Amino acid sequence: MCGRMAITLPHEAMVQVFDAVPSNDLPPQENYNVCPTDPVAVVASDQGRRLRTMRWGFIPHWYKKPNDGPLLINARSETIAEKPAFRAACRERRCLIPADGFYEWTKAPEGARLPWYIHPNDMGPLTFAGIWQSWSKDGETFDTCAIVTTPANDTMSQIHHRMPVILPTSDWSKWLGEDGKGAATLMRAAPNDALSFFRVDTAVNSNRASGAQLRDPMTD
């Protein structure tokens, strides 16, 4: 699962890394506490790659309003091709969602929620497999997205049983549909040595918290 993340890669860098044309309405470049329904920069391919703004929280076309049903921030790889909300997007509207890292929580014996920051070992940006959907009703229009998740690898399973599908550079074209079929084969866990994690302060438990200190390692 992925329910919170950090995104600080400058737009100019994303444009170069993904060879994409930027939209003119991209979200703030530094957000250390990206929450569901926040805007995120997403790479989609439609007559070329484009870096676009989307709402994190997939809205199926039959919702009469954005909060008409469950908040769909993740899509399970095992059922994505069958779920009515996701199956068309899985075939036709896949995207890349860049991030620095993401947060997960474990529970202390007394019940407190303990946050962890998960980051790539190579210190480069993560690229999550995503799907997207345009939603429009009564003059409101949103491009919305969800992160595809898969059962956790051995490293991540120490703190959570699921993790985002993380795509290496070599898989970007296939996931976007630029390089033929076979995207389904990419929905797997990253290698065990791809990620590391450390405890961070419980300040990040609040969706109102902000600032680079949120992902500072705890020292005691």
CA gap 164, 55 in Å, rounded: 17
CA gap 100, 91 in Å, rounded: 27
Active-site option among 2, 90, 95, 145: 2
User: What phi and psi, each to the nearest 5 degrees, are found at residue 125?
Assistant: -75, 150
Encode burial over 164-180: b for 16+ CB neighbours within 10 A, e otherwise. bbbbeeebbebbbeeee
Q: Is 116 exposed, middle or buried (0-12, 13-18, 19+ CB in 10 A)?
A: buried
In the chain, which residue ranges form alpha helices assigned H by DSSP? 11-18, 87-92, 172-176
Q: Which residue is listed with tokens 């902000």? A: 210
CA gap 129, 166 in Å, rounded: 6
Query: Does 95 participate in catalysis according to the annotation?
Result: no
Three-state DSSP at 11 gives helix
Give the DSSP letter string of 66-122: TTSS--B-EEETTTTTT-TTTHHHHHH-EEEEEESEEEEEEE-TTS-EEEEEEEETT
Query: Does 110 participate in catalysis according to the annotation?
Result: no
Active-site option among 35, 82, 95, 104: 104
The residues annotated as belonging to the active site are 2, 104
